[in-house]
Amino acid sequence: MNYAQLQQSWPKFNQRITHFLHQLGLADLALKCDHCALRVNSKEKAELLVDAFEQAGQVISNNMINGRPILIIKLHTPMQLNGASVPCVELPFPSDKVYPQEGWEHIELVLPTTATTCEALISDLSRKVPSITAIIEGKTDIKVKLSSPQGDNERLANPTVAFKKDGICIKVHPHSIETIIASEQ
């Protein structure tokens, strides 16, 4: 997976993720997509992508998270997702896990809330989208994962609920990646 292949695969990913947004009932909320993320299986591919993305934007964060570097690149020209701007790309270096498919993997949405725990986030999300409760309770084929990822210097709680299906993922959290990065300063 190289930079040109990523650019070429964006429209198909955009279509799949938009369909998934509708399936989850999140499309009508018009939540801000603060970043998209990709997956690669080799350090060499990640390094080549860093070089390419540095031409398209600026690295605004390079943190160790769960034992591996994860870069956030703020793009000079945001990506477009169903007509909305996506200002940043998350480029994680590979861990021990091998991904079945390299390329675009997920988007992250900001749900305006004061939630500081996954339970509070789920409660707020379920109030806004009651139909998502069945998904969270495991009554569908959509996998749900709760987490509270944190970089070494983060000062804001940013609980996350992730919805996964067919090799793509949509994550929802209270704070944008740029707000989290600012909290580290």
β-partners of residue 145 are 162
Please tell me whether the overall predicted TM-score, pTM, comes out greater than 0.85 for this model.
Answer: yes
Q: Are 53 and 89 in contact (CB under 8 A)?
A: yes
Domains of the chain: 3-184 (3.10.180.10)
- For 71-84, what is each residue's pLDDT tens digit? 999 999 999 998 88
CA distances from residue 138 to 17, 49, 121, 123, 163 in whole angstroms, order as listed: 20, 36, 17, 15, 11
Mean per-residue pLDDT over the chain, rounded? 92
Is pLDDT above 60 for 132? yes
- For 18-38, what is each residue's pLDDT tens digit? 999 999 999 999 899 999 999
Q: What was the pLDDT predicted at 152?
A: 55
Q: What is the mean pLDDT of residues 107-120?
A: 95
